[in-house]
Amino acid sequence: MNKNSKLVIIGGGFAGARVAQDLANAGFTNVTLIDKKDYFEVTYATLRTLAEPELGQRSRMPYSQFIKGTFLQGSVVALKENHAVLDDGSLFEFDLAVIASGSSYPSFPIAKSQQALSIAGREEEISEANQTLKVAKNVLIVGGGIVGVELAGEIADHFPEKTVSLAHNGNRLVPELKAKASQTAEKQLKKLGVTVHNNKRVTESDSLYQQADLVYQCVGALPNTKMLESHYSQTLDSKGRIKVNTQFRVEGTEHLFALGDCANVPEGKLGYLADQQASALAKNIIALAANKSMKPYKANPMMSLVPVGRQQGFVQLPFMVTTLNLMVNMKQNDLFILKSYKNLSAS
């Protein structure tokens, strides 16, 4: 392999777009990014765009506007040893492939759109969702993870006249974070008027569900790895994630790599971590092309910055959980839109 080898990156989220850009910037001449959409979206801002659709004008950018390699719009439906099969039946040959296909919420597609393949389509999708939200009086959020907590905060803050409830089937919110973060999240949501129901598994027959005129199911994120089921099923773990080693190489292969939400890297499935993985993988591919040793990736401890409405939130660091404004406002100021573009050399 060398810098003229044919490289394909499947998926243009935080991980895929960063790998593509870093390799192109490093002088690789044949880098192609494939994504079913024609735009990159800063998903940190997505939940707020439900209440502020105009924010989407800043949080989305066409790939054609910043990708330095080649961008190909399409969906990979199968991956074989040396080529990808696209949804239109065409084949795309490669020497090395990076799978960065991410994850999706089948029950909450607004978070990561599965249907809006153009910026115009996404704007329409968000606008329609905003109109639906505006007329709702009683809103129920199912799922008390980071997404559910952030969504509940955005709705309650932007629409204080609405009745907002959050139902979580566990005994504390944001179970992926520390207990102090859970306590802080619940306190901040209640301050905004959100009614929190812990240890509550909601079904459609439940009175809480029946009383709501709008329900958001913020549960069940799934890795987008169906493309591997026909020829590389042995590389998938019990959760459908791709098994990789510490250098992001897919188990049992030499020329496939995977990272981000779709891979079983033992750290949180968060955008900033996907970006860090992408930077590390790009450096490894650069080393590979120079016949140098690749370095193992050291997983990071779980850290997170969670806005709860526009004026509050909390930060989990390895050594503490804090609500210090200086830290919370790092995200509140522009939801990391400019930082994301800077990381992609797109600012």
Residues 6+ apart with CB under 8 A from 319: none
Residues 6+ apart with CB under 8 A from 320: none
**How many C-alpha atoms does 159 have within 13 Å on its Cβ side?**
22
Nearest alpha-carbon partner for 258 in 47, 100, 38, 85: 100
| Angstrom distance (rounded) from CA 208 to CA 17 | 41
Query: What's the angle, vertex CA 116, arms to CA 68 and CA 38, rounded to 5?
Result: 15
Q: How confident is the model at residue 339 (pLDDT cuts 50, 70, 90)?
A: very high
| Contact in structure between 228 and 215 (CB atoms under 8 Å) | no
Q: What is the maximum alpha-carbon separation in the chain?
A: 63
Query: Is there a domain that residue 320 lies in?
Result: no
pLDDT recorded at residue 24: 97
Q: If you average pLDDT over residues 4-8, what whole number do you get?
A: 97
Q: If you average pLDDT over residues 190-199, what whole number do you get?
A: 98
Query: Is there a domain that residue 154 lies in?
Result: no
How many helices, marked H, and strands, marked E, lie in the chain?
Answer: 10, 19
Q: How confident is the model at residue 220 (pLDDT cuts 50, 70, 90)?
A: confident
| Contact in structure between 198 and 171 (CB atoms under 8 Å) | yes
In terms of phi and psi (left: phi > 0; alpha: psi -120 to 50; beta: otherwise), the region of 182 is alpha
Structurally, the chain folds into a number of domains equal to: 1
Query: Is there a domain that residue 236 lies in?
Result: yes
- Provide the CATH number for the domain around residue 238: 3.50.50.60
| Angstrom distance (rounded) from CA 108 to CA 218 | 6
Round the average pLDDT of the chain to a whole number and report it: 96
The yes-or-no verdict on residue 347 having pLDDT over 80 is: no
- Cα 321 to chain center, whole Å? 23
Residue 212 backbone dihedrals phi, psi, to 5 degrees: -80, 140
pLDDT digits (tens, 9 = 90+) for 51-65: 999 999 999 999 999
Q: How confident is the model at residue 109 (pLDDT cuts 50, 70, 90)?
A: confident
Task: Tell me the percentage of the chain whose pLDDT exceeds 70.
Answer: 100
| Angstrom distance (rounded) from CA 301 to CA 317 | 8
Query: Is there a domain that residue 289 lies in?
Result: yes
pLDDT digits (tens, 9 = 90+) for 281-325: 999 999 999 999 999 999 999 999 999 999 999 999 999 999 999
Sheet containing 76-79, strands listed edge to edge, beginning at the edge strand earlier in sequence: 76-79, 83-86, 91-93
Task: Tell me the percentage of the chain whose pLDDT exceeds 90.
Answer: 96
Query: Is there a domain that residue 181 lies in?
Result: no
Say which DSSP state 43 is in. G
Q: Is the pTM of this model over 0.85?
A: yes
Q: How confident is the model at residue 210 (pLDDT cuts 50, 70, 90)?
A: very high
**How many C-alpha atoms does 17 have within 13 Å on its Cβ side?**
26
pLDDT recorded at residue 114: 84
pLDDT recorded at residue 90: 97
Query: Is there a domain that residue 331 lies in?
Result: no
List the domain range (segments joined by +) for residue 100.
7-36+74-105+221-300
pLDDT recorded at residue 195: 98
Query: Is there a domain that residue 249 lies in?
Result: yes
